[in-house]
């Protein structure tokens, strides 16, 4: 179709491509991404240091949430166990430094590899279970790892975790640390975006909508989900390693099921049927948390209420709300096509 279009429309193909790009909003989208990135890169020179630390946290949690959402929103696999890989990534860096005298970047590079390697056996077992059973068995893995890390005080530092001068000194400066994290986050999200848009991403969404049909078409859904679980594990571990730059260490809490739950909450509040929804959620969550905790003691109460509201009124989250608004304002059919591809079908009966 694209080939025919090009020969027909205008004599100058380059102009035609540009014109179509403008019409379809691709250019506008690309431009807005660049503007947002420029603002984020300039931010540490403008805002105060507390905000920079919050932004560091957001960079790590964005990757964690989008990687978790590959399972939750795309494949329909509600995992309460991604904290396993998040924690594993962080501990790879800190324990590698402490016990094996790895440099920070060695541990950092190994974290996603170990995350993927750990995700295979966990996925092999957990994915045998479906829906709610899967949610609970992944939760059990999370708690198992939490207990193991907390009990083996000699190796892991127990509940206190490992806090040491792991991070290279030049990155202890918040601006440097933040800019590094921003770069890694953008690169990781670009790869994840590519995965979302690939045929594999399409198959994942299809398996969420109609598992039996995907199976009937000749795709092993178990293997498909295992691959998604492995990819998610790798990126969750990367996010965990990123958090070490912010935290200057790692603690057992990262493995707790409430940490896994946080990634799910973030995705749902931000919008689990859009790629950037979880990132939006991470911004709302971290800024909400950091600003509210100072004034309101009942942070969990607020979070719970917001989550309830999202579940009741907006299952597609904040990003979904924005998209719907745009569509109602009379956007091109492109947006509708997109949301038809990514959004939920009629919510199951």
Nearer to another protein, 329 or 346 (CB): 346
Nearer to another protein, 135 or 182 (CB): 135
Nearer to another protein, 1 or 312 (CB): 312
Question: Residue 175 phi/psi, 5° resolution?
Answer: -65, -50
Q: Minimum Å distance from CB 137 to another protein?
A: 5
Nearer to another protein, 181 or 268 (CB): 268
Nearer to another protein, 25 or 261 (CB): 261
Q: Minimum Å distance from CB 222 to another protein?
A: 11
Are 231 and 116 in contact, with CB atoms under 8 Å apart? Answer: yes
Alpha-carbon gap, residue 251 to 21, rounded angstroms: 47
Q: Minimum Å distance from CB 303 to another protein?
A: 5
Give me 123's structure tokens.
Answer: 């996925």
Note the residues at the interface with another protein (CB under 8 A).
72, 76, 78, 125, 128-133, 135-137, 139-141, 143-144, 147-148, 150-152, 257-258, 261, 264-265, 268, 298-301, 303-305, 307-308, 311-312, 315, 347-349
Give me 147's structure tokens.
Answer: 């207990």
Nearer to another protein, 119 or 137 (CB): 137
Nearer to another protein, 52 or 204 (CB): 204
Q: Minimum Å distance from CB 212 to another protein?
A: 10
Nearer to another protein, 8 or 294 (CB): 294
Are 288 and 265 in contact, with CB atoms under 8 Å apart? Answer: no
Q: Minimum Å distance from CB 225 to another protein?
A: 13
Q: Minimum Å distance from CB 348 to another protein?
A: 5
């Amino acid at each position: 179709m694209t080939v025919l279009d090009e020969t027909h429309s205008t004599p100058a193909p380059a102009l035609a491509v540009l014109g179509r790009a403008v019409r379809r909003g691709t250019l506008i989208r690309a431009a807005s991404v660049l503007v947002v990135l420029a603002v984020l890169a300039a931010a540490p020179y403008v805002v105060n240091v507390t905000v920079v630390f919050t932004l560091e946290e957001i960079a790590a949690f964005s990757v964690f949430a989008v990687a978790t959402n590959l399972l939750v929103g795309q494949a329909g696999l509600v995992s309460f166990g991604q904290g396993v890989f998040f924690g594993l990534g962080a501990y790879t860096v800190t324990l590698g430094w402490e016990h094996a005298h790895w440099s920070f970047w060695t541990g950092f590079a190994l974290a996603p590899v170990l995350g993927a390697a750990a995700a295979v056996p966990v996925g092999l077992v957990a994915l045998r279970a479906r829906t709610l059973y899967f949610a609970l068995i992944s939760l059990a893995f999370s708690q198992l790892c939490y207990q193991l890390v907390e009990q083996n005080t000699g190796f892991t530092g127990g509940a206190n975790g490992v806090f040491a001068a792991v991070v290279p000194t030049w990155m202890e400066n918040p601006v440097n640390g933040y800019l590094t994290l921003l770069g890694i986050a953008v690169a990781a999200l670009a790869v994840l975006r590519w995965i979302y848009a690939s045929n594999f991403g399409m198959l994942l969404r299809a398996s969420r909508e109609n598992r039996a049909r995907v199976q009937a078409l000749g795709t092993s859904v178990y293997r498909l989900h295992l691959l998604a679980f492995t990819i998610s594990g790798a990126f969750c571990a990367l996010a965990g390693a990123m958090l070490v730059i912010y935290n200057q260490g790692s603690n057992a809490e990262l493995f707790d099921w409430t940490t896994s739950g946080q990634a799910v909450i973030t995705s749902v509040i931000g919008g689990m049927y859009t790629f950037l929804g979880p990132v939006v959620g991470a911004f709302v969550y971290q800024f909400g948390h950091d600003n509210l905790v100072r004034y309101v003691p009942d942070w969990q109460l607020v979070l719970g209420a917001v989550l309830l509201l999202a579940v009741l009124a907006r299952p597609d989250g904040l990003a979904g709300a924005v998209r719907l608004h745009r569509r109602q304002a009379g956007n091109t059919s492109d947006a509708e096509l997109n949301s038809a591809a990514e959004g939920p079908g009629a919510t199951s009966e």
